[in-house]
Chain A
Amino acid sequence: MSTELLSSQPDSDTELLTGAEIFIRCLVEERVSTVFGYPGGAVLHIYDELHKQREVDHILVRHEQGATHAAEGYAKSTGKVGVALVTSGPGATNAVTGIADAYMDSVPIVVFTGQVRTALIGNDAFQEVDTVGITRPCVKHNILVKTVEEMPLAIRRAFHIASTGRPGPVVVDLPKDVTEQKMPFAYPENPHLRSYQPTTVGHAGQIKRAIKLLEKAERPIIYSGGGVISSNAHEELTEFTRLTGFPITNTLMGLGAFPGTDPQFVQMLGMHGSYEANMAMHHSDTLIAVGARFDDRITGNLEKFCPYAKVIHIDIDPSSISKNFPVHVPVVGDAKHVLRAMIDDLKQRERALPDISAWWDQIHEWAKKDSFAYKQEMDADIKPQYVLDALYRLTEGEAFVTSDVGQHQMWVAQLYKFNKPRRWINSGGLGTMGFGLPAAMGVQLAHPDSLVCCVTGEASIQMCIQELSTCRQYGLPIKVINLNNRYMGMVRQWQDFFYDSRYAMSYMEALPDFVKLAESYGHVGVKVEQAKDVEPTLKEVLAMKDRLVFVDVVTDPRENVFPMIAPGAAHNEMILS
């Protein structure tokens, strides 16, 4: 990287700034208003500069994992790049889980890690780790900045790479001496990346071929994923779906890209997807995959996946196409552009698409199974689904909902109908317990006036519970709904199915009193133990608009998530109850 790449050369007599000052200026240039971070020796120059200015807010988390998840929550709910700042060594290693999480779910974040002085690199210096080496397999890109002259271009590139193409995390490693070296500041307009040019516009010939397949479809289904949300293509997806009249299913990551209450929506698919969605996938003759990656939790047994379908796959990442499952018509491009082109093409056609009413009749028949149904007796244990149903009704489907990982996550996905994108914030690819609360902080900071709920379990919440302190410091009025079944429910469920109910280590003993715990952090805590109290309590909780409320709901410890496709099974081999 040479300085001559800088498009705007500074005058020789301009003021000299330190690397730390330049760092702040770069953030301002990238319109970063919020940074989630935690200080330490290697980043103290930067913290000193943060202290002196007002343009960038710094949110002090309580663990660096929280900083990266908060940055993810911020990014997922806004579409903007989330930013985290941590120190070298343990600061960087603590951040790795969030970086890997962002990598798996294609979340645009930039993580700045402090590093020991350049002269000490490789000497096993105090708090030195090879951050670039450790994070290499779980970043979209990473950069070690070796001189201050390299810093502006490195940061320009980091934001560009994180936010374009298939988004993802970028790590920028900043040795301490780089943040004290001086130079005149100029921010490059162009990231100058000759080797990085994501394809956005779909190939016209491939789009034509895709349309040809649609014209012959008798049993079509649209299967859309998180990529549609990343590319802000929800309007195009909705228009395309309405125009074709085809049924549509969303992945866990794609919920909200198409209105969850629309009659064309056949619910989520995959391991815990609806009966109708999975059966329709299995029997379809034409599959239109958009921004989805044929993950194993979606496909089940690949050998038996969609055996009758011709497959169209629209994705911005060529390596996603035919990675797990061979497709017939690949279209590399941004979902927004490609869907727009397909809509335009369809509208110009005289010939209507084939009548698929027989297919819809079949789907409606499958839907009668009502596979997400549950029964709540008012004098029995509280069903977790009942709580989420109530939450959905009381919030009118308008809340931002984050979740942790486990049964509760699947129940939110099944029961909370998201009509808008970027409202459902969860960890899909990595499945990171501990994600929910810090992610909710990022969402709440980005949307200070909106209702943000974190649905969690008593096991997951304890993985980042320290962030309750951050929530207190910044007055974040998140509503934490803890579905407390005294089990690592999802683990217990697998033990029920595959290990003759031997509950090895999946019970939660010695649980804290969550109400007192919340109170000791300065929040409101409430406990719900009876079904009849669920709705009235939630109503009161939601009315406490300016407080974080921790709602500990004691739920049925035996409830399992259905339907379920066991690993190795096919879509038409669901366990229904």
Chain B
Amino acid sequence: MDPSRVDFPPGPAGAPMDTMTMLDIRNLHARIDDREILKGLDLTLNAGEVHAIMGPNGSGKSTLSYVLAGKDDYEVTEGTATLDGEDLLEMEPDARAAAGLFLAFQYPIEIPGVANMTFLRTALNAQRKARGEAEISTPDFLRLVKEKASDLGISQEMLRRGVNVGFSGGEKKRNEILQMSILEPKLCILDETDSGLDIDALKIVAQGVNALRSPKRAMLVITHYQRLLDHIVPDVVHVMHQGRIVRSGGKELALELEASGYAAYGDAA
């Protein structure tokens, strides 16, 4: 990113000096149909860091997450994006997942007839296979799911139901975090995971996310509200506007935005 725009040094206090760049996005342009949504976006995320992205509706936050995950409605016209030095944009979506990129969807998708449990296991084994690892054994898998599900307050009954079928808005979001904690990705992108969560669920989900914070993992948290960032405290906050990061700062930037909104960025693009 343009260093002149950074008014707070990234990286948690006391982070090792040789911070590893995990996600590196430069001058990214992407369009859908004939409409350019991302217009030269720069963003660097180091291992161990949590960055928040805030920005008005329609500024392109979800688009960024889809482009990184490889949704094929979007066409990248310019720029680069690498994950641990590997060219993300060249990889198929499933290869990106196996490389450790996880997207918690703003609107999780329903898959009728496929038990949540089956889905989890198929996904985990597919990623293991792609990485040349052996499939997880049934007892190990059951133990893992049971533990993670109970942490997130997800019932056995929900595990047996079709993927996201008939789940409430909040249950869908919790289910995304369940998948994330089982797949243990190295880059977690959370797209408005807090929307639709009640106060208690917000805490549970935040706990789940915080449990995954690690020096080897990076997180990109897309949100509109400070309340999530009270629980998941970010190292850096970015403001996205009209397809670009227009400002970056420390966690207090979120508080500032909450107070004054995005009016100041009206002509920033």
A and B bind: no
